[in-house]
Amino acid sequence: MQDILFNFMAKYISLTEEEKNVIISLDIFRSLKKGTVLLKEGQKSQDNYFVLKGCIRKYYIIDGEEKTTAFYTELEALTPHCVTSNMPSEYYVNCIEDSILVVADSSMGVEVNSKFPKFDIMCRMLSEELLAKQQIDFDEFKTSSPEQRYLNLLQKRPDLIQRVPQHQLASYLGIKPQSLSRLRARIVGKKS
């Protein structure tokens, strides 16, 4: 699993053997079972997550109903808002598949970044990329119909269609599961 992480990091920075050994010594790799809750509403946390294998979901519970806002799959990172705000979380994060994650707390990041400044540069580059991607995704969501959101999902993240339960997918698209079924049928009908 460490090779997956090192290959990803190599897109941004070159690592020496010493730096690789420091990363390995941090004990940051976690194998987690489907259903594991990583973060609960009201909980404080300093943990950041990077998915090496599997899928995690971010969701709120509003009036007793789960509202999914994001899925994170291979080579995607999540820094929960509560980590930077030092406030209790407003949402939940859980594994919807058996997953292998890099789990690192903020103090660990500060320590590594102070020893190896190029990690700080990499983190800044990743943050900028993530912010730009999230802005594009938000704009697309706000300006698209439910059908267009589904078509965008088919184009950009087709793996989610098979990996994620339909009710979670519907919530992510901002529609009810029955509406998703009708929408899928309508799209299949158009292709026929």
What is the pairing mode between strands 65-72 and 99-105?
A: unpaired
Please write the tens of the pLDDT for every residue from 16-72. 999 899 888 888 999 999 999 999 999 999 999 999 999 999 999 999 999 999 999
- Reported as a single tens digit per residue, the pLDDT across 93-119 is 999 999 999 999 988 878 888 888 888
Q: What is the percent of the chain where pLDDT is above 90?
A: 77
2-115 — its CATH code?
Answer: 2.60.120.10
Tally of residues, the chain: 192
Q: Tell me, what's the pLDDT at 192?
A: 67
Q: What confidence score (pLDDT) does residue 109 get?
A: 78
Distance of alpha carbon 188 from alpha carbon 190, whole angstroms:
5
Give the chain's mean pLDDT: 93
The pLDDT assigned to 141 comes to: 92
Could you give the CA distance from residue 191 to residue 103 in angstroms, rounded to a whole number?
43
What is the model's pTM? 0.90
Q: Identify which of 59, 5, 9 has the alpha carbon closest to the alpha carbon of residue 29.
A: 5
Write down the pLDDT at residue 115: 81
What average pLDDT does this structure show over 71-98?
A: 96
pLDDT of 190 above 90: no
Q: Where are the domains of the chain?
A: 2-115
